[in-house]
């Protein structure tokens, strides 16, 4: 979130943050947002009788903020298919692996255990399948012999901090859209052989 916030401070950045929302009242990001003059809201799951009620409250906060896109950054709850459908084509996530490899948790340990030569992160549109939406872009690095899950996570995090703001900007500009579940690329961007975008 802080990397996105810093990127958005550039006058040429095509998006601004209208709301930072968390289901954790103690999330550091809420304080960081407030300190930067951004509306910060906690919507704790425990305050609602059902997942549907909780997501309705999240929707209300998003709509009140006038947000055009919803960007997940460290949000560790699985969203319902209904929520995802309501925000279809406007809901982005970043995942610490080279999707479609290593969906879910513990990606760094799994990449090392699998003997992968490269590892990294992927930005994707969110659909009802966990980490299964159309992939916008990936960024990778070689796995080194001395890597542990912790060192690899630290190195991949640096990639995430660069890739996510770039992907968000491209979506905000309209250069990347989702149509019938497929990525559509326009503007000055062109698809790679795997259909994703490579940013400079």
User: Three-state DSSP class for 159?
Assistant: helix
- Rg of the chain on CA atoms, in Å: 17
Residue 99: closest CA among 139, 69, 66: 139
Q: Which of 95, 102, 108, 124 is catalytic?
A: 95
Reduced to 3 states (helix: H, G, I; strand: E, B; else coil), residue 132 is coil
Q: Residue 91's closest CA among 34, 131, 56, 52?
A: 131
Q: Of 127, 142, 132, 121, whose CA–CA distance to 199 is shortest?
A: 121
Known catalytic membership, residue 95: yes
DSSP 191: B
* Torsion region of 102: left, alpha or beta (phi above 0 gives left; psi -120 to 50 gives alpha): left
Catalytic positions, written as ranges: 95
């Amino acid at each position: 979130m802080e990397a996105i916030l810093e990127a958005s401070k550039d006058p040429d950045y095509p998006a601004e943050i209208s709301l930072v929302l968390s289901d954790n009242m103690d999330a550091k990001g809420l304080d960081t947002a407030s300190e930067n003059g951004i509306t910060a809201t906690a919507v704790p799951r425990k305050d609602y009788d059902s997942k549907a009620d909780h997501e309705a409250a999240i929707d209300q906060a998003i709509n009140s903020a006038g947000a055009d896109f919803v960007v997940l950054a460290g949000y560790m709850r699985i969203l319902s298919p209904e929520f995802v459908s309501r925000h279809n084509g406007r809901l982005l996530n970043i995942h610490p692996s080279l999707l479609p490899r290593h969906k879910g948790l513990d990606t760094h340990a799994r990449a090392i255990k699998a003997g992968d030569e490269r590892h990294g992160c992927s930005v994707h549109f969110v659909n009802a399948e966990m980490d299964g939406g159309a992939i916008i872009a990936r960024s990778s690095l070689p796995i080194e012999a001395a890597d542990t899950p912790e060192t690899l996570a630290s190195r991949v995090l640096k990639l995430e901090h660069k890739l996510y703001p770039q992907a968000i900007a491209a979506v905000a500009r309209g250069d990347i859209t989702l149509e019938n579940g497929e990525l559509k690329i326009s503007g000055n961007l062109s698809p790679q052989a795997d259909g994703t975008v490579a940013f400079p």
